[in-house]
A and B are shown apart, each in its own frame.
Chain A
Amino acid sequence: MRYSITINGSAKSVDVAPDMPLLWILRDVLGMTGTKFGCGVGVCGACTVLQNGEAVRSCQIAASDANGKRFTTIEGLSRDASHPCQRAWIAEDVAQCGYCQAGMIMTACALLRDKPNPSDADIDAVMSDLVCRCGTYPRIRKAIHLAAKLGAQK
Chain B
Amino acid sequence: MSAVGKDVPHDSARGHVTGESIYVDDVPPLFGELVVDFVWSPYSKARIVSLDLSEARKLAYVYTHEDLHHNRLGPIVADEPLLVDDGLCTFRGQPIVVVAAETRAAVDAAKRAVRIEFEELKPILTIDDAIAAQSFIGETRYIRRGDAEAAIASAEHVIEGVFFNQGQDHFYLESQAAIVQPGENGAMHVLSSTQHPTEVQEVIAHLLGLQMNQVVVTTKRMGGAFGGKEAQATHPATMAALVSQKTKRPTRIVYDKDTDMHVTGKRHAFQNRYRVGFTRSGEIVGMKVEFFSDGGAYADLSPAVMARAMTHAENSYYIANMDIRGTVCRTNTPPNTAFRGFGGPQGVATMENVVEEIAAFLKKDALDVRRVNCYGVETRNTTPYGEVVPNNTLPRLLTELPERCDYRARVDAVRAFNASSQTQLKGIALSTVKFGISFNTKFLNQANALVNIYLDGSVQVSTGATEMGQGVNTKIAQLVADELHIPYERVTVMITSTEKNNNTSASAASSAADLNGSAAADGARRIRERLDELESRIGKQETWEKLVKAAYHERVSLGERGFYATPRLDWDWTSGQGTPFLYYTMGTACSEVLIDRFTGDLKVLRSDVLMDIGKPINPGIDRGQLVGAFIQGMGWVTTEDLRYDEKGVLLSHSPTTYKIPNINDLPEVFNMDWIDVENPINVGGSKAVGEPPLLMAISIWCAVKNALQFVANGDIARLKLPATNEEILMRLTEYAKRGAAVA
Binding site for B on A (CB under 8 A): 27-28, 31-41, 43-44, 46, 73-75, 77-81, 85-86, 89-90, 93, 95-102, 105, 123-124, 127-141
Contact = CB atoms under 8 A, between A and B. Distances in A.
B145 interface: no
Contact of A133 (B14, B29, B172): B172
Contacts of B529: none
Given A95-B469, A128-B663, A134-B628, 4 more contacts: A43-B655, A96-B10, A135-B630, A138-B666
B19 A81 contact: no
A101 B23 CA distance: 13
B644 interface: no
A57 to B, nearest CB: 12
B19 A34 contact: yes
Contacts of A46: 173
Nearest to B170: A133
B482 interface: no
Nearest to A101: B16
B477 to A, nearest CB: 15
B662 A136 contact: no
B469 to A, nearest CB: 3
Contacts of A136: 624, 627-628
Contacts of A100: 173, 223
Given A31-B28, A137-B631, A140-B663, A41 B654 contact: yes
B629 A38 contact: no
Nearest to A127: B663
Given A99-B224, A135-B630, A44 B19 contact: no
A93 B469 contact: no
A73 B19 contact: yes
B469 A39 contact: no
Nearest to B628: A135
Contacts of A27: 25-26
Contacts of B257: 38-41, 44
23 contacts: A28-B29, A33-B26, A34-B20, A36-B223, A39-B655, A44-B173, A75-B18, A77-B18, A86-B17, A89-B13, A95-B16, A95-B17, A96-B470, A97-B221, A97-B223, A97-B468, A98-B12, A124-B663, A131-B661, A133-B660, A135-B630, A135-B661, A138-B666
Interface string B221-265: 111111000000000000000000000000000001110000000
Contacts of B625: 96
A117 B12 CA distance: 28
Looking at B16, B172, B654, B655, the one whose CB has the most chain A CB atoms below 10 A away is B16
A90 B624 contact: no
A89 to B, nearest CB: 5
A92 to B, nearest CB: 9
Contact of A43 (B9, B23, B256, B654): B654
A78 B18 contact: yes
A33 to B, nearest CB: 4
B246 to A, nearest CB: 25
B624 A96 contact: yes
Interface residues of B, number: 57
Interface in B179-197: none
Interface in B2-60: 7, 9-10, 12-23, 25-26, 28-29
Nearest to A91: B9
B171 interface: yes
Contact of A137 (B17, B225, B620, B662): B662
Contacts of A138: 627, 666, 670
A56 to B, nearest CB: 17
A12 B670 CA distance: 46
B621 interface: yes
A95 B10 contact: yes
B9 A90 contact: yes
Give the dominant DSSP class at B's interface.
loop
A85 B629 CA distance: 25
Looking at A73, A90, A141, the one whose CB has the most chain B CB atoms below 10 A away is A90
A105 B470 CA distance: 20
Contacts of B224: 97, 99, 133-134
B177 to A, nearest CB: 10
A138 B174 CA distance: 22
Contact of A90 (B13, B173, B226, B621): B13
Contacts of A101: 16-17
Contact of B9 (A36, A93, A133): A93
B664 interface: yes
Contacts of B26: 27, 33
A99 B628 contact: no
A90 B171 CA distance: 25
B263 to A, nearest CB: 16
Contacts of A140: 663
Contacts of B543: none
B562 interface: no
Contacts of B661: 131, 135, 137
A20 to B, nearest CB: 11
B601 to A, nearest CB: 15
Interface string B622-647: 00110111111000000000000000
B641 to A, nearest CB: 15
Contact of B174 (A97, A123, A128): A97
A133 to B, nearest CB: 5
Given A36-B173, A93-B621, A134-B224, A98 B15 contact: yes
A132 B548 CA distance: 43
B411 to A, nearest CB: 26
Contacts of A43: 654-656
Given A93-B10, A98-B469, A101-B17, A128 B223 contact: no
Contacts of B628: 96, 134-136
A133 B620 contact: no
Q: 7 smallest A-B Cβ distances: which pairs?
A: A34-B19, A99-B223, A97-B469, A135-B631, A96-B469, A98-B16, A135-B628
B17 A81 contact: yes
A132 B469 CA distance: 12
A35 B14 contact: no
B600 interface: no
A109 B663 CA distance: 17
B102 to A, nearest CB: 13
B274 to A, nearest CB: 30
A79 B15 CA distance: 9
B654 A130 contact: no
Contacts of A86: 17-18
B580 interface: no
B655 A79 contact: no
B81 interface: no
Nearest to B10: A93
A40 B255 CA distance: 11
Contacts of A95: 10, 12-13, 16-17, 469
A100 B666 CA distance: 18
